[in-house]
Amino acid sequence: MKSYIITCILFFTVSVFAQDKQPITPTDLWNIQRVGAPSVSPDGKRAAFTVTSFDIEESRGASDIYLLNLDGSEPIRFTRHPASDSSPVFSPDNKNLAFISRRDGNTAQLYVIPVNGGEARKVTDLPVSVSTPKWFPDGQRIAFVATVYPGYDGDFEKLKTMIEDQPKSKVSAKVTENRIYRHWDRWLTDGMYPRLFAVDIETGEVKDLMPGTSVYFSMMGGAQYDISPDGSEIAVSINSTEPPYERLDYDIYLLKTDGTGEMKNITEHNPANDGGPVYSPDGHTILYGKQRSTHFYADNVRLVRYDRRTGVRTVLTEDIDFSFQQWLWSEDGTTIYFHAEDRGKKSIFSIPAEGGSVTEIFRGGTNDAVRLASDDRLIFSHQSFTQPPALFEINRNGSDLQQLTFFNKDILDRIAFGDVKDVTYKGANEADVQMYIVYPPDFDASKKWPLVHMIHGGPHGIFGDSFHFRWNAQLFAAPGYVVAMSNFHGSTSFGQEFAESIHGAHADKPFRDIMKATDFMIERRYIDETKMAATGGSYGGYLVSWIAGHTDRFAALVNHAGVYNIMGQFASDVTDHREYAYNGSPWDGLDRMQEWNPALHAEHFVTPMLVIHGELDYRVPVLQGLEAYGVYKGKGVDARLVYYPDENHWILTPQNSIFWYEELYAWLERYIGAGSVESEDEIDN
């Protein structure tokens, strides 16, 4: 009898708890604290990381640094300041933490603070922002990146004057002869270039390590570099091509740290990109990533060992069909740990430093920023469809997974998430295509539900098992939609051949995959085929526009920052690969290119379309969205435009994002409703 009572009480508690849960809302998404990547102390006993919180009313965020003793204790908030603190990194002796902050003005500067308590001390005071700090092995200097006018000649007062004089000019023109002249949401015509610097933490003396250079690091900001164990050299990935930058080719340079600027290119032989250099613990070897294709940005990244003494390069992973990411050495230099996308997820792997078979350490969700901890443990960032990024720890043999941070527990405990199913169906040419199905929280297979396709961008990317902060699958499903997320032909994580399979015919196989996915979902018999929508961003928006001209089976379409007229993509920030991707260009093979241009099929547009675009989007210029909307309105087909004058390719601020979801929900509700209806069909699950 006692056991029965306990069982009843437990059942009642769970039932009430479940009833208290509610579907996730856009506001919930912005109330979730975002846990950053860990920085682990050299002794492997502590981790520092950022936590970013957002003020929805003010529509802005701020980050603080937390410290975590890797002994099972709770993390502590280490910095408290209205300005954001970021990029924490431990000193070699484990006693100090360097970080970046805007505490004293508009430019981000370098600070150092004792780990065991004390005040943060400002180390740099430059007229430009600094980023990407790394300690030198002796603990006396810190390297960082700053963007300067090459003509400042090492005089920071002169640089300050040059920057202050810039707004005084009454000429607003931007002039260039370069092929790459703007990127993402910024222009590259101001004459400023990034360089590596070093600062003495005691005297504050700053040394320009790259005098006389005008080169680009990663276009998305920061730099990929590492300091040799003896501190005499930096391996850094730098673009090696000259203006007019017909294309970019990142090579690995070895830079002397004495301030002479002496550099040696060790990958000049490879015409494609090389990046991510990391020194072995003994300093004898540099590990880096190598691509082979000059026209395919998602070409597999292979791991290469470079012997500093002999100059011999050894490709470790030529026959492994992974694209390697975020690699690091074990303490003894015998093992390499890394991440790689694999079948719709991003996992943790290892490989012997001399090459050999890959070992999967942890598969599940999306994992990033793996770091070494003491006692043969790994610490990393983990997320999934139902788990925002949090820090986890695991043994290096893959056992004993432990969650270390629980910042969003209160919010997550009251959210009802929908179930997620990982399925495979037959797509174009009867090839296997992986897809995630995300169900609404109150899903009942005996009823009929509206279907919403989420179509990812890239096109060479994936909709993985992650807690996406812009296109969140649970938020799409929450109002009462079954969400289908197909990793169609062209998606990464399924091998190089699958990713390359759409070149020259960008819409062909992906469109057929989406149609086959739709058939697959209808066969489940819980989908109302009169209430289906297709939504996509970037390349996904391109495919939505292609869908608009080739089928009327959907009741609503959503096109966010989508390519509408591929001719217009020659105004994009990066254009050097488009002839290959489109199998033609306006000057050579125009007919072949236009075969896959959605704009040429406007006569068939009948499905209502919501068009969303940002003015600062240089990846898919805003004219693409305006043209699609203008054609729709001219043709008399239902359309709605949401235009953001202050957003780029992504919607990044809280209130704009919440408004984005409100518009999405209203559009879908208008044309396909939300929630289920009773079904008379016999359900086959």
Residue 3's pLDDT is 33
Residue 291's pLDDT is 98
- The distance in angstroms from the start CA to the end CA of the chain is 37
What would the two tokens of residue 668 be? Answer: 């879908």
Quick check: 264 and 308 in contact, CB under 8 A?
A: no
What would the two tokens of residue 674 be? Answer: 């939300």
Torsion of CA 63, 384, 290, 433, to 10 degrees: -150
Residue 567 CB burial class (10 angstroms; 0-12, 13-18, ≥19): middle
Residues 6+ apart with CB under 8 A from 212: 150, 261
| pLDDT at residue 425 is higher than 70 | yes
| pLDDT at residue 5 is higher than 90 | no
* Identity at 600, one-letter amino acid code: L
**In terms of DSSP bridges, do strands 359-362 and 141-148 run parallel, antiparallel, or are they unpaired?**
unpaired
Q: Provide the CATH topology of domain 416-678.
A: Rossmann fold (3.40.50)
In the chain, what percentage of residues exceed pLDDT 70? Answer: 96
Instruction: Give the chain's mean pLDDT.
Output: 94
* Identity at 498, one-letter amino acid code: F
What would the two tokens of residue 454 be? Answer: 């989420």
Strands (E), 568-662: 609-614, 639-644
* Three-class secondary structure of residue 573 per DSSP: coil
Residue 483's pLDDT is 98
| pLDDT at residue 16 is higher than 60 | no
Closest by CA position to 380, among listed 334, 358, 349: 349
Distances in whole angstroms, Cα of residue 635 to Cα of each of 534, 638, 675: 20, 9, 31
| pLDDT at residue 249 is higher than 50 | yes
Across 473-488, average pLDDT: 98
Could you state, in order of their start, the residue ranges of all structural domains in the chain?
416-678
Across 299-303, average pLDDT: 97
- What confidence tier does 13 reach under pLDDT thresholds 50, 70, 90? very low
Torsion of CA 352, 358, 361, 362, to 10 degrees: 150
User: What are the tens digits of pLDDT across the range 567-585?
Assistant: 999 999 999 999 999 999 9
Residue 7's pLDDT is 31
User: What are the tens digits of pLDDT across the range 118-127?
Assistant: 899 999 999 9
CA distance 54 to 685: 41
Residue 12's pLDDT is 31
Residue 675's pLDDT is 86
Closest by CA position to 490, among listed 207, 297, 349, 274: 297
Across 670-685, average pLDDT: 72
Residue 323's pLDDT is 97
Residue 8's pLDDT is 34
Strands (E), 257-320: 263-265, 274-279, 285-290, 302-307, 313-315
CA distance 377 to 573: 42
- What confidence tier does 104 reach under pLDDT thresholds 50, 70, 90? confident
Kindly tell me the number of DSSP H helices and DSSP E strands found in the chain.
12, 40
- Identify the DSSP state of 659: H
Residue 167's pLDDT is 85
| Other Cβ atoms within 10 Å of 147 Cβ, number | 15
Residue 2's pLDDT is 32
| pLDDT at residue 52 is higher than 80 | yes
CA distance 292 to 277: 17
User: What are the tens digits of pLDDT across the range 488-516?
Assistant: 999 999 999 999 999 999 999 999 999 99
What would the two tokens of residue 530 be? Answer: 């009169």
Angle CA 624–469–188, to nearest 5: 50
| pLDDT at residue 10 is higher than 70 | no
CA distance 22 to 291: 46
What would the two tokens of residue 32 be? Answer: 């979730």
Across 188-206, average pLDDT: 97
User: What are the tens digits of pLDDT across the range 291-300?
Assistant: 999 999 999 9
CA distance 657 to 29: 10
Closest by CA position to 329, among listed 341, 338, 321, 320: 338
- Identify the DSSP state of 530: E
Across 542-564, average pLDDT: 98
Residue 17's pLDDT is 41
Across 647-655, average pLDDT: 98
Residue 680's pLDDT is 57
| pLDDT at residue 380 is higher than 90 | yes
Residue 72's pLDDT is 82
Closest by CA position to 345, among listed 364, 326, 361: 364
- What confidence tier does 19 reach under pLDDT thresholds 50, 70, 90? low
CA distance 142 to 92: 11
Across 370-377, average pLDDT: 96
| pLDDT at residue 11 is higher than 50 | no
